[in-house]
Each structure stands twice: as structure tokens, then as C-alpha cells.
Amino acid sequence: MCLKKFLNKNKIQFLMGKKLTEFFIPKKRHKIPLKRSMSGYETEMFILKNDGSIDHSDVLLPKAKGLSVVPECAKSMIEVLCLPHKRLSSTSLSLVNNLIDLNELARANQRYLYPFATYPGVNGPVFRDKQWYAIKRQVLGKERFEYAGKCCGYHQHYALPRGMYNPKTKFLNYKTRSKVKRTLIDSYNLLNAIDPVITVLLQSSPFIDGRHLAKDSRTVVYRGGQKLNFMEGLYGAHQFFGGLSPYKQTLSDLISTLKRKHEKWRKMLRDNGFGQTKFAKSENILHFSWNPVKVNPKGTLEYRGGDMNYMSNIFGVATMIKFALREIQRNFMLVVPMDIEMKEAFKVEGNLVFIPPQTVVRKEMQKLSAYEGLANKKIKIYTEQFFKFVKGITQKDYLPLLKPLKRMIRTRTTVSEEILKKARKKGYTEKIPESFAKEISVFYAEKFSRDLYKTKELLEKVHVD
């Protein structure tokens, strides 16, 4: 009897008929799949005047009432949202319809929506007068904070595994015996591992303030830091809050990191004289991070590392992310970091998916993706391997959405490559004049408009999920 009490008290599961390996390497045990998870988007865009220059007037936002739009930090930017849905096609159609309505409103007011991540010409952002922006400007640095108004990104949300989120505390539930907690860590690690793939496929920012910095200038100036050779970036001195994160081994590791981040941010606010603000007093642990992969206080895993782009490219990437995470969570796939060559990345054996070590992803692949893109052999192979993995698990009806990405990988031609090619034809390499920045901005804004309607037609053919 004493032994039994001792075992119950210490929960030694393998002696009670429950092996610990079943929680470390869980397997799918039911024919009926787990619940379908909700997906959602956030898309940010610049507003241009009719001549292709940046518009700081803020005239469009007040006229967009009734549309799913919200203000961004700079008056020259606007954010378009959509309602989350279990069907990716429904979510995507909702977003496209919102964008079409906003685009038509913009043209009726002699404005353009510019869909790429940085305006190619000179952009001196005019920030909205809100305390939150003033706080971030002081904490991160005035010059660094300028980049917040010069970068437009794409964010994708995917609901956390069932039972892992507490809507009352707006934080994660800690469950020692749940198989589902393993899928959260595996999903989190996978998103960090595929960041170089997503950023290379969505790169659309070869020029910023009239100069060529990288093929993905947004990644460089937004994240900053030593790994990207750009300490002047928005989070250059605060990688803990904005850089690509390391993998996590356990749910305890993830929770500990999130709590440390919350406490460190509150300390930074106090040190800068903002200790009495609601932001310093906030108990919402998940709110204060801007990493490419984050656990969102809305109860989602949020990927926020990619450039804004054509919607046809966005939905191709969204399809990749959605079906990759669905595979991990429905079939309890275990994501395993291992010393492997790029040609073995995302290889599947049983219910194991292999990814490179975090040092390779964060220190090497992230930088190669931003500066060299698909021209680099390692990045191309890495991207091909993930595409191959996703293609094999994507529902047949959604495969047409992957075609733009397939063509991009085959030709090694991203949007950034297209823009650079246009610049080289004009004789520009490192710098471009304002006249050319305006010219290509109008060209791509009009192309974005045409892409919206083509993408809507394609989405309407996708019925099930």
C-alpha cells in the first residue's frame, strides 16, 4: 500500500502502465481526425498618391469605415483584416473581397495600394499620435523606430492545439500529461525552421529609401541584429523581442521564455520612465513580443516574418503553412532537429519530420535568405525540400494555389528579383532615383489590382478543406 501511494504521489507513469515515450513521441490513435483549426490573416500595405509617391495625408482610412481595416503606426500605411475560418479558402476569399473593396475605394480617391514590404523610394514616416508608439520610440530608439513605419508585412494565424490556451488568463495552459502539448512545441519549432523558406518566397523589398540593401530589406531592417549584420535595425539591440527565436524543447521552456520576456519588457518600460502606464502594469504576458514566430494573446500561433506581396503568392505560402501545421497537429508528427544536409531537410520517417539545428537556421539560412535568396544553392535546396514535403500533404483542391511558388522556385525569380531586373535594365544597381521609385510603384500597384481579381477566381474554385 505504501508503494502504491508513493507511485500515485510522484506520477511515475511508466510503472503505472503508461510509458513516458507515449507523451514524447505521441501517435495518432483515432480514425476521426482532430478538430479543424481556425486560420486568419493580417496584411499591411502602403498608400500612394496618383504619381506613385508615398501618401501621408491619411485621407483614405476615414473613408474606409465599414471595411475590415485598422490604422497602422504610420499614416501612410493601412492594415486589412479578415474573419478567421476553419476553411482556408473561406478565410482567403474574405480577405480578397476586403482588399478589392479597399482597392476600389483607393482608386476612387486617386490613391493606390502598394502591396510590397518597403517603398522603394525615400519614405519619412509620419507616425500617429499614440502613447504606445511614443513609448516604443523611446525604448527602442528614435532612429530604429523609424523602420516600424517603413515595413509592411504579412501575418498568418493558426489556432493553438485544443486545450493549450486559457481564454480567461490569455495564456497557455500547462499540462504535464497531455499529448497535445507536444504538438504545440513541434508546431512552434517548425515555423521557426521554415522562416528562411517563407521569407525567400515572399521577398519583395530589394530597395528601401532609394538604396539596395538586401533582397529582403524588410527582414534586415525590421529584425536587425548581428545575425543579419544590421545592428541599426528596429530590434537590432533587442533580439529577444524581435529576432528569430531558438527552438524550444518543452512546454516549460516556452512558458519560461514568455514570462521572462514579459518581465524584461516591463523593466525596460520602468527604466525609461513609463512604469505607471497601463502597458507596464499589463498582466497580458503574450502581448509584448514581435518575433517572426509568436504565441498570440488571441490564442493562435502567429507567423509574422514574411514580406507583404501579391495575394496569389501570399495564399500559396498560407497553404504551405496551414497544411504543414495541420499535419503536425492532426497526426502528432514529431519535429526533430538533427545535423543534416539541406537535401535531407523535412524528410519524413514514420511520424518524425527532420529539421536542421537552430544554429544553422538562425545564423546561416536566415541571412542567406535575406541577402542572396534563391540564387543561393543551399536556400534553393532547402526551399525545394519544404515545398516537396507540403505538396505531399496538401489537399488536392488547394494544389493550384501552390503553382506560383513552384514557378518561383524553378526559375529562381522572386518579386525582389523582378524589381532588381527592372532597375538593372535602367542602369541602376545600388541606388535608384525618386522618379524610378514612383514609376515602379505605380506599375506594381496596378499589377496588384489585377492579381486580386485573378486570385479571387482561383479561390472560388476551392470548395472544401
Instruction: Locate 119 and state its grid cell.
Output: 517603398
Specify the pLDDT at position 25: 58
| pTM for the structure as a whole | 0.92
Residue 209 has pLDDT above 90, yes or no: yes
Specify the pLDDT at position 162: 86
Q: Beta strands 293-296 and 111-114: pairing type?
A: unpaired
Q: What is the mean pLDDT of residues 363-382?
A: 98
Confidence of residue 121 (pLDDT cuts 50, 70, 90): very high
| Each residue's pLDDT tens digit, 378-406 | 999 999 999 999 999 999 999 999 999 99
DSSP labels, 145-202? HGGGGS--EEEEEEEPPTTSEETTTTEEPP-SS-SHHHHHHHHHHHHHHTHHHHHHHH
Residue 289 has pLDDT above 70, yes or no: yes
Q: CA–CA distance from 393 to each of 136, 185, 404 (Å)? A: 41, 20, 18
CA neighbours within 13 Å on the CB side: how many for 294?
A: 22
DSSP labels, 100-130? HHHHHHHHHTTEEEE-SSS-SS-----B---
10 three-state secondary structure: helix
| Each residue's pLDDT tens digit, 222-243 | 999 999 999 999 999 999 999 9
Confidence of residue 375 (pLDDT cuts 50, 70, 90): very high
76 three-state secondary structure: coil
Instruction: Locate 424 and state its grid cell.
Output: 538593372
d(CA 207, CA 430): 9
258 three-state secondary structure: helix
| Each residue's pLDDT tens digit, 79-107 | 998 877 677 778 888 899 999 999 999 99
CA neighbours within 13 Å on the CB side: how many for 386?
A: 30
d(CA 93, CA 101): 12
Nearest to 373 by CA among 416, 336, 421, 322: 416
Cα of 436 vs its chain's centroid, Å: 30
Nearest to 200 by CA among 336, 429, 384: 384
Name the burial class of residue 92, with classes exposed (0-12), middle (13-18) and buried (19+) by CB atoms within 10 angstroms of its CB. buried
Q: What residues does each domain of the chain span?
A: 35-459
Name the burial class of residue 220, with classes exposed (0-12), middle (13-18) and buried (19+) by CB atoms within 10 angstroms of its CB. buried
Nearest to 196 by CA among 414, 400, 402: 414
397: DSSP letter: G
Cα of 388 vs its chain's centroid, Å: 21
Residue 423 has pLDDT above 70, yes or no: yes
Specify the pLDDT at position 36: 59
Element at 238 (helix H, strand E): none
d(CA 244, CA 88): 26
Instruction: Locate 250 and state its grid cell.
Output: 518543452
Strands (DSSP E) along 199-299, which ranges? 207-208, 211-212, 293-296
Report yes or no: 355 and 373 within 8 Å, Cβ to Cβ: no
Confidence of residue 273 (pLDDT cuts 50, 70, 90): very high
Give the residue carrying C-alpha cell 500559396.
Answer: 316
The correct CATH number of 35-459 out of 3.30.590.20, 1.10.3720.10, 3.40.1710.10, 3.90.550.10 is 3.30.590.20
